[in-house]
Each structure stands twice: as C-alpha cells, then as structure tokens.
Chains A and B, each alone.
Chain A
Amino acid sequence: MSSEIAEEYLEAVYDLTLDGGTAKTNDIAERMRVSPASATEMVQRLSAEGYLSYERYKGANLTDKGEKVARRIKRKHRLVERFLVDVLGAKREEFHDEACRLEHVISDESERRICQMTNNPRFCPDGEPIPECEDGDCSMCRDRPSLPLMEMREGQSGEITHLRCEDAGRIKRLISMGFVPGRSVTLEERVPLGGPLLVRLQECRVALAKEYAELVMVQTGPAPGRQPRSKEKASG
C-alpha cells in the first residue's frame, strides 16, 4: 500500500472526526473520491494495521497511532502552506494543492526547519489551526533543542530562534541590543555570585543579566552525548 494514500485516508478521518463523532465510510469515500467499497477495504486494512478502530455500520476512528500520523501530516500540510505564502509569496489558489502534494514527501527535518523559519505558526493561511508537534511545545526539536541562553554551557554556540517574553519593554531592549532571531550567539562565561552572562553576539560582546538570558531561546548545535531520538516514521 502506498503510504501516501494511507496518509490521505488518515487525514480524511482526522478531518471528519474533529468535532467528536465517527467517520462514516461513505463520507470517507466521498472525500477520497473513490467508491464506498474501496474506502471500506482501505479502512479495514488501516484498522488491521492499528491506525484506525473500525466498527462495521458505525464507522472509523483514529487510534492513538493513527492520530499521531494524521496530525503530523496535517501539520506538514498547513506548515507548508504557511511557508508557500509567507516565504515564497504564493497566491491563494496555488498553495493548497501544492501543499497537498508536498505534505507526503517533506522530511521531518524540513518540517522542523519550516516551523522555525515561519516562527512556529499556529494557524495556516486559511485560519485553520496547525496541530502542535507531538508533545506540544516543539518537542520534536528535542534532538536539537531550542533552549534558553541561560541554560547553555560555557563555550556553546547557537542561533537565536525566538524571544520568550510578553513584556514589550524587555523585548525591545533585547532586540535593540541585537538579540534578534537568526543571529548567532556564544555563551562565553558566567560571572559568579549571580552575575551576568558574557555573551558573544556575532561581532559584539555583551553582558546579559540572567533575567534577560532566560528569555532568549537559542538552538544549539547537536548536543554531544545526547542520543538523537529515534524517530517514529509515518505509516509505510
């Protein structure tokens, strides 16, 4: 079975069961533009593989395993849309179909990068919510974590991903000092007795109090000594 088709089915079930309920095979067939019989066959196969729980006459629901895959595909789809619109400037008519094709082929790594590039968006260009990545809170970046500057090791370098702060004054202070997403930072030294952190910010050297260092989120290089998380592949 082509994983692409399986993914499309799971996506369809995901959409149909968003409001609670169960996905009827007839509805699934309509969405996939196939006959009810082929839809039923496919649903049964997916159910046998543990992606769906299917009860005859009632319909299909996603299992935890199936939901994971569906959410990720949905997430890739909407992230790609965001990317096409925000970065490439695609037109409204274009982006949806293209995203439909790309969602199946894009790697998890690229998904992560797009997510970062578009600043972890929460909605797609049509205003539909983008499912959060698995444990919420960007956990799939765990093997290359985005951590507060405060928690970096001395000598460690990385790239600023975002500023974790709601206070406008502090944000402005940080950005005017050059703590802006996309720039690279190195934590050089920590001054003892609760002193500031000495940070190399590209060409400048800055002393930054820990209150500020907590707010600057940095993606460091792959941390040595930490095993990359074994990735769960989508079906197929």
Chain B
Amino acid sequence: MEIGLIGQPNAGKSALFTKLTGIGAISSNYPGTTVEFQEGSVLRNGVRLNFHDLPGTYSLTGVTEDELVATRLLAERQLQVVVAVADATRLEQSLVLIFQLIELGFKVVVALNQMDVARKRCSLDARRLQEVLGVPVVPTVAITGEGVEQLVDVLVTSDYPISGFEVRYDRHIEALLRGLCVDPDCRTGKFPKRGALLKLLEGNQFFSEQFSNEFKWKAQEATAEFKQDHGEDIEVHIHRDRYGEAGRIANEVISNRVPPRRISERVSDATLRPQTGIPILVAVLGGIFLIIVFVGGFLEGALLSLYHRVVGDFFTELAEWIGGPLGQAIASGIDLSLQAILAIVIPYIMLFYLMLGLMEDTGYLPRVVVLLDGVMHRIGLHGRAVIPMIVGMGCNVPAILATRVLESKRERIILAIVIVIAVPCSAQTAVIIGTVGTFAGAIWAFGIYAILIAILLVLGRLLHKVLKFEPTSLAMEIPDLTMPHPRNVIWKTWSRTRDFFVVAFPILLIGSIVLEILMAYGVLQAFVEPLAPFTEGFLGLPPITIIALIFGILRKEMGLQLLVVLFGTADLSLVMTPEQLFIFALIMATYMPCLSALAVLSREFGWKDALKITLASVTIAFALGGLANALFQMF
C-alpha cells in the first residue's frame, strides 16, 4: 500500500516517518527536484506499507518549491492513503491543509501529532474532530512513538470511507464552482471536480496544467470578475473561508485553553527577543566554532594515531607489491584519502552535523535565521542563507547542498559563490591557522578573516547587482524550543555524513591517486620552473609553493602538509617571510573549490556554472595574492 506523509513544517513529520519505518528507511534523492524526500517501507500483518515522506508544506497553493513538489508527488504517485500529520498545537493551520487533501479526494488519515505539548495547553477532543472531518484521527506523539502503533493499525485495516466533508465557501465561489463543474471542458481526471477547480482558481500551477487552455481562460475570466466585484483576489477569499471553517472546528474541539507560560516558553522568548537573543546567538555560534576547532582537533589527533597504529606498514607493503613509482603513488593516494576521512570528515564534518542537527531539532536554527535576516539582506542574501554559510565553515560540499533552503536558483548560485570564495571551510581554517596563525602571529590570521568578511560583503552586493536580483523576503514560522531527541539527531547526522561519503570520497580517492602519480613522475615539478615568474614575480612566493597551490585544488589542508614536505622543515618561518605566509594563506582561503565541492557544484547547478564559479574564485584568489604582494613591496 502506497502511503503519503504530508504536513506543515515542524509538525513532526520526519520524526513520525522515522518511527513508522524504523532506522532502515531507504533514503533517496530524486533528480530534478531540489527538495529531498524519502521513502521507507514496513511490513505489518502481511501488508507492505510504503511510506512517502513529502516535503513540509502549509498549503497546496503551489507557490514555493516545496509546495509544488508536494502537489506533484501527491498527484503523480499512486497513493492509496495520505497521512496528514497535523500539529495539535497549531490545529487551524493543519486543518487548512487537511481540507485541501479531502477536497482533492484523497483517503486521509489524520495523525494528530504533538499531543504531549497540546495536552499541557488545552483539552482537544480528537473523537469530535474525527466526527466533524469524517476521517480517522489518531492522536500521536511522534518523538516518543505514542500512538504510532494505532496509526499503523488504522492504515492496515483501511476500512474507512472517503470523507464527505466540504468547506462551505462564499456564495459566489460556490456558484462559480457549480458553473464550471457542468462545463463540458471541465475534465479533471482522477480528481474530484470541486477540488481540482478550487486548485485552478487558486492558481496552482500543477493543476492549471491539467486543464485545456480554453477552460483556463474561462476560469481566468471568472476570477477577474470576482476580483472586480469583491476587490479581493479569489485565492485570498478561498483561504479566508478555509481559515474561517478551521477556526470554527478548532473552537469546537478545543476547550480549556491555558495560556502557555512555562519555562521553555520564557527561554523561547529570550532566544528570540533581540536584546537577549543576539548575545545568545553570538555565544551559540562562537561555542560551535570553538567546539569544532578544539574537540575536532582532539578527535583528529586521536583518530590519526589510531589509524597509523592499525594500518602499520600496510601501504608500504602495498606500494612494494605493485612496484615502482606507480605503486608508491597508488598506495599513498589511498592512504592519504583515508587519512582525509579521519582527519576532516569524522572529526570536523560529523561533529558539525551533530551540532547542526541539535540546532535544528531544538528549533534554534529558525532563530538564527530571524536574528540575522536583516544583516543578510544587506549583503543581498536571504536570512535562510545563514544556514548554508554556517555549514560551509565545516565543509563546502554539504554547504552547497544546503543552499537548497533558498527558493530560487539564482539565490542559490549567489550563495554558493559566496560560500566557495569567502567562507573558509575547516580545511581552509586549518591552513590559515597552521601557516600564518602559527608562524606569523594571530594578527595576520585575523587580517585574513577580516579580508574574507570584506569579500563576503562586497561579493554579495556585487553579485546581486550583476545578476539583477532582489533577495526574496523572509516569511517563516518560528517553532517553540523543544528538547531534541538523541536518536533523531544521530540519525540525521549519519544520513548527512553519508551524503559526503557518497559524493566526495570517490572523487577524493581518484583525485589523490592521480595527483600522486603526477608527483611520482615529476609532472608537477615540471610546472615549478615555467611558472616561477608568476609564483615569484607576481605573488612573491617561493617557486616551489606552486605545487602546494596545485594540490590545493584537491585538498586545501594538504597544501600545508605539502609545504612542510617540499621545504623539508616543519618550521615554515625559516623558509617563508610572514608576508609570504600571509599571501599563501590568503590564496588558499579564497582559492577555488576542491574537487569534491566542484563535483557537487556541477551536480547542483550544471558544469557551466560550476566552471564559472571556479574561474571566478581562482581569479579572485590570485588577484588578491598579487595585490597583497604589490602592497607589501610598496611599503
């Protein structure tokens, strides 16, 4: 049985999905859509229940990408049942979505979620709600699993009728619907006419495509006439009536409301109120940065020493077994890739995801977005862009994936460029701290961060001028703060890290081996002499550093280690001046995306845009390096 799971954002849909399907959920990334959605199945009483987790959506008006994807999936998948995950604490809003599902003729089962929170605030008569709506209503608490069994039982028995519930619309709308229904051109396929027509009148893109052009014109005429008469768009009026109905039903089933004034509510307020919220925000972000640097650093050391102990001489033996410089190259290529996983992915990226998951599940992330929205707008970005930027401090690969939180492709590209160029990932941070920070002093390192922030500001503004784009404005619901559920957070962390393994690791592995082979056959060294005028003359760096810069294409933090190898000393201050270290770190910090990031860029935006972004970042990096050198020469 194919079952769709739909609900407004923060209704606990994902938690319910996890509970319904268990850990073994099959996650898939559907091409062509920017919004991820998941499938999972479970066997119950000999019935296979296939759950489709649809993107969170408030309504099926089809305006945001999420809503469009949700409508499309609802229409195209052969769903026998739709589980509407309703939020008992925001019943009205949930009802509006349920109305639309019923109108479209779906067999609906309501999972009345967040009942634990709702019970503290009011008494909610689920049975009465079931009577009014004419669909099964199962109270649930997804995070603890309460009610999930009952929900599955209801789904398995599936002996419930399609609801006859109808929202009563304004007389004009009803007359309009009646008129259009009898039109011979009104063909709505498997959908009930009333529901499909309402969607057409609301201007849902997906449903508009189902009607013939002549019929659409008729409907357009009617809506224009309606607007003339009422001075209000028909979609506004339709929603007004839906909310009116939802309000009536909510009043009927909810009683004994208690004003929610508990500790968590007060904490919630404090994180949101600007006076207290901004200091808390600074503390939280600073804390995350420190945890990543220190705990990540500790983990890296521990994991690498463990790795060396476990691996022992394996790779030396492997090199000998294959033989020659080629063997050496392949062995060390694999070796270095594995080390990268242990040195970067697990300590920094996984740790980062863990914290991101915590921020999400507590409901803190929306607060970050809200508090920084104004600032982000000044640099031509949407408040939500904060999230990918924070992610980008860990690794660009998931950051580029995270740009999906934005609505338009344009915004996503702007954000991706800003992240690639101006947000230092953990590898770039390692280079900055490891070169200038260690050997030239903290002031120099701060200088680099200051330059990055300046680039961020200028680049953001510039791009949205050049691309002629005004960022879309924020309209986002802020959930209350809640206790995160460990299992959910861990599951999220894992499924995101897996993304990194799948996308980035193969590239890392092959790239490492290729570069090692180039090194082994002296191909890279051949670049040193011819490029010396550029390296030495323009950038003011020792010629040999070009190899480290080329290596930076693959892995930024390797650039640092390579410098050590190339110069044969761990104390870089002996071989490079502070100015040179500064220039080197500056180039590395703004330099092109590493191969893994490049792969994700081209997967998300197409190779043309990925190439443009790469060229832009290389140009900026070298221009900055050259400029810095010129300035140092002058003064």
Q: Which residues in A have some Cβ–Cβ distance to B below 8 Å?
A: 86, 89, 118-123, 162-163, 168-169, 171-178, 180-183, 189-196, 198, 202-212
Contacts and interface: CB of A to CB of B under 8 A. Distances in A.
Nearest to B250: A203
Contacts, number: 148
Nearest to B372: A195
Interface string B69-97: 00000000000000000000111110010
Contacts of B378: 193-194
Given A121-B230, A162-B236, A172-B235, 13 more contacts: A162-B232, A172-B202, A175-B61, A178-B58, A180-B242, A181-B232, A181-B240, A191-B374, A194-B374, A195-B372, A198-B272, A203-B89, A205-B477
B477 A209 contact: no
B93 A204 contact: yes
Nearest to A179: B475
B229 A123 contact: yes
A195 B93 CA distance: 25
Residue of A118, A177, A196 ringed by the most chain B CB atoms within 10 A: A196
B370 A207 contact: yes
Interface residues of B, number: 55
Interface string B356-392: 0000000000100111111101100001000000000
B371 A191 contact: yes
A182 B63 contact: no
B89 A176 contact: no
Contact of B475 (A89, A181, A212): A212
Contact of A86 (B172, B235, B374): B172
A202 B374 CA distance: 25
24 contacts: A86-B170, A162-B231, A162-B236, A171-B235, A173-B475, A175-B59, A176-B57, A176-B59, A176-B239, A177-B477, A181-B232, A191-B274, A193-B375, A194-B374, A195-B371, A196-B370, A202-B92, A205-B477, A206-B477, A207-B369, A207-B373, A209-B377, A209-B383, A212-B475
Given A208-B475, A209-B475, A194 B377 contact: yes
B243 A205 contact: no
A53 B562 CA distance: 99
A171 B236 contact: yes
A206 B231 contact: no
B240 A118 contact: no
B598 to A, nearest CB: 33
A216 B96 CA distance: 20
A118 B230 contact: yes
A48 B90 CA distance: 62
Given A171-B235, A178-B243, A194-B374, A203 B230 contact: no
B228 interface: yes
Contacts of B235: 168, 171-172, 175
Residue of A89, A118, A189, A203 ringed by the most chain B CB atoms within 10 A: A203
A125 B235 CA distance: 21
B475 A177 contact: yes
A115 to B, nearest CB: 10
